[in-house]
Structure 1
Amino acid sequence: MRIHTALLSSIALGFTAFSAQAFEIKGTSGTALEATEIATFNEPWAMVMGQSGNALITEKSGQLFHLSKDGVKTEITGVPEVFYGGQGGLGDVIFAGDTEDEIYLSYVEQDADNVGAVVIKAKLESAENGKLQLADIARIWEQDKQGRQGHYSHKLAIGPDNKLYITSGDRQMQKPAQDMSVNLGKVIRLNLDGSVPSDNPFQSDGEIAKTFWTMGHRNLLGIAFGADGKLWTHEMGPRHGDEFNLIEKGENYGWPLVSNGDNYSGIPIPDHESEPKFNAPEAFWVPTIAPSGLIIYNGDQLADWNGDALIGGLASQALIHVDINGTSATENERFEWGSRVREVEQGTNGEVYVLEDGPEGRLLKLEPSG
C-alpha cells in the first residue's frame, strides 16, 4: 500500500522541540540567530523536508530516518546495502514529487574491489509493523566505479525543467573531470525515470557524455536551484580554492587544469584567470571553508536573505551566508558555534535547519533571535 503525506506522521508545519535549550549564534556582521536542538544523529549526511513539514535524514553508515515534529526518529527499512568507508556511505535524499511518497536516494556500493555512487528511486510504504519501508526500488544512475574511496559527491536536485540533476565527483583522480568517456567530475542531467534528455549539450561526444550537463568539477557537495531557476553548486578545492559556481549548460569549469587552490603536494595550479576559456567561479575561498550542503533561501523569516545562498562549512565550522546579485556572489556573513556543518535545509515556514557533522551531530533549527 502506498502511503501518502498525511499518513507519514502528524507533522504540520516545522518541528517542535521539547526540553531543548535554545542558544544564540551571532554572525560576523552582527545578525543574531536563535538555535534550537531538534534531534541528534550518528554521522548525518543529508536531509530533505517536504511542503508538509515531513523530514527524512540519512546517516552515512546506511540508516534512513523519518523525523516527526516532536523529534521522534523512526528508521525506514529496505535501504539497499551500502558501502561504508572512506567518504562513502548513504548519501543524499530528496522527494521525487509533491506527494512525498516517492524519493530519490544516493549511496555508495561496492563491486569486487571498486566502489561508486548509485541513485535509486523508491516508494515509501507502510510496513506490517506500522513503520515505513522502501518499495518498488528502481535503479536510476550509476557512477563509474573506481578503487578510491572519496569524492563521490552524489548530491541531488530536481530542476524547474522537471529533470534530475546529480553531482558526480572526480573520485580523487583529477583527470577524469576532463574525460568525456567517464561520468566523473561532471554534473549529470537525466529525465526523472533515468533516461537521457535529448537536449543535453554533449550529444556528439559519446553515449556516456550525453548524460553530462557540465564538466570539469572536483567534489561537489552542494547543489540547489534558486526561485529564479538558476542552478548553483559548490565544490571543494584541492588545498584551498573552494568554489561557488553558477551552473550553465555545456560549460567546462576547468578542474584539474585550473583552480584557485594548489595541489596538496604544494605544486601550484594555474588559476582561472590564466585560462579564460574555462568558467570561473562566482566566489571562491582561500583559505578553505570545506563547503557541504547548500540552499538558495526563499522565505519570510529571513526575507532580506531571499535569493542568497546558505552554505555549510566543515573546516570553517560555520554556516556561511553568500549574497547573490544576479550572476555575482560575495560572502556576506558567517555564523560560528564550534561545529562542523554537514547539511543545510529550509523549513516550511522559512526557518533554516542545519545538520552538524560527526557521531552525535545535532539537527538545529535556526530562526531570527528575538
Structure 2
Amino acid sequence: MLAGVLHNYKEPITVEEVEIEEPKENEVMIEVKATGMCHSDVNVFLGSTPVPTPVIAGHEIAGRVVKVGHNVSRVKEGDRVISTFIQPCGKCKNCISGMENLCETFASVRLKGTMFDGTTRVKYKDGRSIRTFLGGGFAEYSIVHENALTRMEDSNVNIEELAVLGCSGITAYGAISSANVRPGDSVAVVGVGGVGLSVIQMLRAVGAGRIIALGTKKWKLEKALELGATDFINTKESEPVKTLKEMTNGGPDIIIEAGGTQETIQMALEGVRIGGKVVLIGLPPTSALIPVRVSMIVRNGITIIGNYGSKPRVDMPKLVELVRTKRYDPQKLITGKFKLEEINEAVKLLEEGLAIRSLIIPH
C-alpha cells in the first residue's frame, strides 16, 4: 500500500510503498476513504510530539472495514466506519469505570506509535517497522482497535466528510460535556481551528447564551460567526482579556481553550469570571511548561478542567445524531481535499493558518 511516511522531524513527508500485516485480536483493517489533517499531526511532524520515526500520522479517519481480527464483535467487513483518535482497550480500570477516553492501555503506547502489544502492523519489505500515530490514517489502509470505531448506518451520508468527527468532533463534544454548559451560560472559545469551530457549533446546539470566539485570523473569526458565535475578538487587534471582561461584565462563565499555546492558556485563565470554569483541550508540545498565577486561580475560585476527547463507544453515536439532526455540520470545517501525494501542501496550509481542516484522500 501507499503511505505518507515521516522519516525525520521538520522534513517533508514522503509517499512510498509499504506493507501492512493482518489485524490481530480486536483489531480492524480499514480501507481509508479520507483522513483529516490536524495540528496534532503537525506537532508530530515538527517533533513537538516526539513519536519515534519512521512514522505515519493521521487520526481523523473515515473508511470501510476490509478485514477483522480475532474476537472482533463491534464491526464486520463492509461496514462504513469513523475511527476516533482514542482507542480504548475496554478492560483497564478507567475503561470499566466509565472513563474510556483515559484508557490506561492506550495511554501507555500512544506516543510510542505501536499497537497495544508493543508491535507495529506496518513495515517495509525488508522487515523494518514503521510506527503509526493514533491510527496512521495518511495511508491507503489503517489498522485500529475495534473500540475506536463507530458504524455509519445511513448510506446517504458522505463518509469522507465525516472524518473530522474522529478528533475535532469528539474533542468538542467532550469539552461541552466536561464544562457542563447550561442554557444561557456565557462561553468564550479561544482558538478557532477545527476543534474550536466544532465547540462553537455545539455550544449553539446546547443553548449557550453569549458565545465569543477569540482568534487571530479574520476569516476564521467570520466563520465562527457563521457557525454560531455571537461575537468575536481578534486577539492581535485588541487586549483580549480586557476586551473579554468588558464585553461580559467581568468575564464569561466558561472559557474553552482550544489553542494549546502558552499565550492562549494564560488568556483563558485570566479572562474567565470569578468562580468560572476553564476547560483546557488544546495540546501544547509535550515538553511545554506553562507558568500560571496560582494565587489568582485560588482567590478567584477558578475551576480548571483538563479534557482529553470523549468516550468513543458512548459519545460518538450521540455526535453522529447531532450531525443527522443538523445541529453540527462537519462539512463546514473542510477547506480543501488533497491526494496523498499532495500531503505536504496540506501541512503547509495548516501551519500557515490558511486551512481549518484539509482531507487527505488516499484512493
Could you say whether these structures have the same fold, taking a TM-score greater than 0.5 normalized by the shorter chain as the test?
A: no
Please report the TM-score for the alignment, with normalisation by the length of structure 2: 0.28
Give the strand-richer structure, 1 or 2: 1
> Which is bigger in relative contact order (C-alpha 8 A, separation at least 6)?
2
Give the helix-richer structure, 1 or 2: 2
